[in-house]
Chains A and B, each alone.
Chain A
Amino acid sequence: MPDLLYQVPLWFNLVTGAAMLVLGLANFKPHNWMALSLAITELLLLVQLVTTIVLVVGGQHAATDTVEFFAYVITALLIPPAAVFWALIERNSRWSTVVLAVAALSIAVMLVRMHQIWTGHFG
C-alpha cells in the first residue's frame, strides 16, 4: 500500500465527508459533486486494489495479514455504489446527504485500518 494511496484518499474522504455531514445537517439535499466525490473515491480504491495486487504478486505482503487487507479493500469498494444508489433513490431528502457523508467517513476509517494492517503499525 503506497503511502500516496493512503494519504490522498484518506484526506479526500475526511474533507468531503465532513463537508457533506455539515451540509446534510444544514438541510442541503444531495448535489452532483457529492456523487462525483464518491466516484473519485471508488476510482482511488480500484487503483489501490490493482496496485496492491501487483505488489503482492511481486513478492510484497501486508505486515499483519494480506487476506484481511484485501477483505477491507473489497468491502470498501462496495460502499460508494451503495451510497450513491441510495442518494439517487431519495434525492429529495437532506438525510441522503448525511448518508453519503457516513459512506465517505466509513471509508476513511477503513483506510486507516488498511494502513495499519499493511504496515503493522498500530500507533
Chain B
Amino acid sequence: MAKSSPRGASRVLVALYAVLALAATARGVYELIVKFQLAPLSYSLSLVSALVYIIATIALANANKPGWHRVARTTIAFELVGVICVGILSFSSPALFAHPSVWSWFGAGYGCLPLALPIFGLLWLRKHQAN
C-alpha cells in the first residue's frame, strides 16, 4: 500500500473546492457584467459564494497551520449555513430567486456539491486538528 498521509485525502477536498471557486467566480463575474440589475440579490449571492470558495480553498490547502485551520472552519461553516438558508428560501420563496444563484436549490446545479462539500470539509477539519 502506498503511504497515504492524513493530509492526503484533503487534496481532493481542496481540488473540489478549487473547481467550485473557479466555477462560482466565472459565473459571478459573468452575471455581474452582463445582467446584474436583473436580480441583484441572486447575483450578489453568487459573488459572495465565489469569495467564500476562494477563501475556503486557500484555507483548506493550509489547514495544517492553526490560523488557517480557524479560517477554514469559519468560512466552511458560513458556507454550510449559506447553502442551507438559500436552499430553503429558493424552495419556499421562489420569487426571491427567480434568477438562480450558485446556492439555489441546495446547489443542485453543481451536483449538490455545494451542500456535500462543507459537511465533508467540517468533518475533515474536526478529525485533523492543527498542530
Identify the A interface with B (CB < 8 A). Answer: 27, 29, 65, 67-68, 71-72, 74-75, 78-79, 82-83, 86, 90, 93-96, 98-99, 102-103, 106, 109
Known: A71-B26, A71-B30, A75-B23. Is A99-B2 also a contact (CB below 8 A)? no
Q: Is the interface of A mostly helix, strand, loop or mixed?
A: helix
Q: Is B95 an interface residue (CB 8 A)?
A: no
Q: Are B11 and A90 in contact (CB under 8 A)?
A: yes
Is the pair A95, B12 in contact by a Cβ cutoff of 8 Å?
Answer: yes
Known A-B contacts A27-B1, A75-B23, A102-B19; the reply to A68 vs B12 at CB < 8 A is no
Q: What's the nearest-Cβ distance from chain B to residue A14, in Å?
A: 15
B123: Cβ under 8 A from any A Cβ: no
Least Cβ–Cβ distance between B101 and chain A, in angstroms: 15
Residues of the A chain whose Cβ atoms lie less than 8 Å from the Cβ of B9: 95
Rounded to whole angstroms, the CA-CA distance of A67 and B30 in the bound complex is 8
The 7 closest A-B pairs by CB, nearest first: A95-B11, A75-B26, A99-B15, A27-B2, A102-B15, A95-B8, A71-B30
Closest to B23 in A: A75
Query: Is the CB–CB distance between B23 and A96 below 8 Å?
Result: no
Cα–Cα distance between A96 and B15 once the two chains are bound (Å): 9
Complex: how many Å from CA A103 to CA B110? 15
Cα(A68)–Cα(B12), bound, Å = 28
- B22 is an interface residue with CB less than 8 A from chain A: yes
Q: Is the CB of A93 within 8 A of B11?
A: yes
